[in-house]
Amino acid sequence: TVENHGVDPDIEVEDTPQSFVKNEDPMLARTVQEMLRLLKEKPVQSVSYSPSPRRLLPD
């Protein structure tokens, strides 16, 4: 059961008072690092769109 216990994080990040004083955000930095790694591992494929139909205003 998960009663009285939160979900364990996938990645542990230490958030120290020193990083707060330096105005740093280690969780955000680690998130960006992980997202860039995932994008290199599995790049996003661009979507090709067909041309939009021409819509003219009525006379």
Cα dist from 59 to 10, 35, 55, 56, whole Å:
60, 51, 12, 9
Residue 38 has a pLDDT of 96
Residue 37 has a pLDDT of 97
Two structure tokens written together for 19: 């990083």
What is the Cα–Cα distance from 31 to 18, expressed in whole angstroms? 19
User: Which residue stretches of the chain are H helix?
Assistant: 17-21, 26-41
Report mean pLDDT in 10-residue bins for the chain, 59 residues: 77 93 95 96 90 83
Cα dist from 43 to 14, 55, 59, whole Å:
29, 35, 47
Predicted TM-score (pTM) of this structure: 0.62
